[in-house]
Amino acid sequence: MSFQVTGLGLNETKLDSPPSFLDREEAEEADDPRLLEPEVWRTYMERRTALRGFLTSDLSPHLLRRHHARTELLKKCSYYIEILPKHLAPGDQDPLLLPTAMFQLIDPWKFQRMKKVGAAQTKIQLLLLTDLLEQLDRGRAELGALLGSPDPQPFLAGWGLVERRLADLAAVTDSFLAMTVPGRLHMKHRLVPDVGAAKIPHIRLMLSTKMPVVFDRKKSVAHQDWVSLRWFATIQPVAPEQFELRFKLLDPRTQQECTQCGIIPVAACTFDIHNLMPNRSYKFTVKRAESYTLVYEPWRDSLTLQTRPGPPKGPTPGRPGQPGPPLTALSER
């Protein structure tokens, strides 16, 4: 990729190397922008403006925050293998019919091997995204420090290095944006065996993502001995989904309390769990139920809720220094 800074007249005047006719005193004077010649001053200001424009548009703090948010979201997504005939685009197939027909033709052992390849490719892709984002953060910090420096030399004799740095960061940005979209899985072997297939279909494998499943923290509430849980995905699926809900009592005190846990399959985005203990903390996690095409799911949402205290077992004792309820009152209850 080529990157050009427009409006700097770089085709007319070459300033990538320091002029040989500057003696030491002239070079020291050049360190003060106020002592530069008008033409050199104009070039210096144009290049500062170009650098500032790059930092406020292509590499702005707002854009970097969006890149960070996007990366964190991708780390929480679920990744699947999507099987497509070569004439269809991702998302065009009928999710209820096409996979079943395709899986009847695909070699199960080879497909399991491709799932491992997909998991490895996804992990590498997420690591590369993190590395590219760190490069963008460092690049912006370096260029921001350069812009804040009073030294004019990087904008004059050293502008060639700055241009190369801008081009590198623009290329890193392009790579980052391209990598946020899951790509194609490359097959070394046929997934559909030749034997028994009258006509071998031309298929391709793609990595697809599903948005993370998260608890609705406003609508998930705890009562005295039960909880009402709600969750959602940011993008609603076309077909109904199955979920796996887990719960466990935190800090059990007896062997019997250790049984306060479980795994519950749920076919909706809401569920109530009863027969819990009052005034205790429970941890809940939710995720999509595992499917045949799932290759990587690094994250699941968790939520901790504390049930409400139960009613007092006896009359409320008096405050310190005050007498409690009379014994006759206790015997009457």
Distance CA 237, CA 91 (A): 11
Distance CA 262, CA 285 (A): 11
Per the structure block, which two tokens stand in for 260? 């306060």
Distances in Å between the alpha carbon of 141 and those of 19, 51, 61?
29, 13, 10
Record the pTM. 0.73
Looking at the chain, which runs of residues are DSSP E strands?
A: 78-85, 184-185, 203-210, 213-215, 221-222, 227-233, 243-249, 261-266, 270-273, 281-288, 294-296, 301-306
Distance CA 165, CA 154 (A): 12
Instruction: Give the per-residue pLDDT at 206.
Output: 83
By the 8 A CB rule, do 267 and 239 touch?
no
- Report pLDDT digits (tens) over 108-163: 888 888 889 889 999 999 999 999 999 999 999 999 999 998 888 889 888 999 99
271, burial (CB in 10 Å: exposed 0-12, middle 13-18, buried 19+): buried
Instruction: Give the per-residue pLDDT at 106.
Output: 77
Share of residues in the chain with pLDDT > 70 (%): 71
Distance CA 129, CA 176 (A): 6
Instruction: Give the per-residue pLDDT at 322.
Output: 43
Instruction: Give the per-residue pLDDT at 9.
Output: 35
Range with lowest mean pLDDT among 87-96, 165-174, 176-185, 231-240: 87-96
The pLDDT of 43-62, averaged and rounded, is 94
Whether the predicted pLDDT of 7 surpasses 90: no
Instruction: Give the per-residue pLDDT at 271.
Output: 97
Q: Please provide the average confidence, as pLDDT, over all residues in the chain.
A: 79
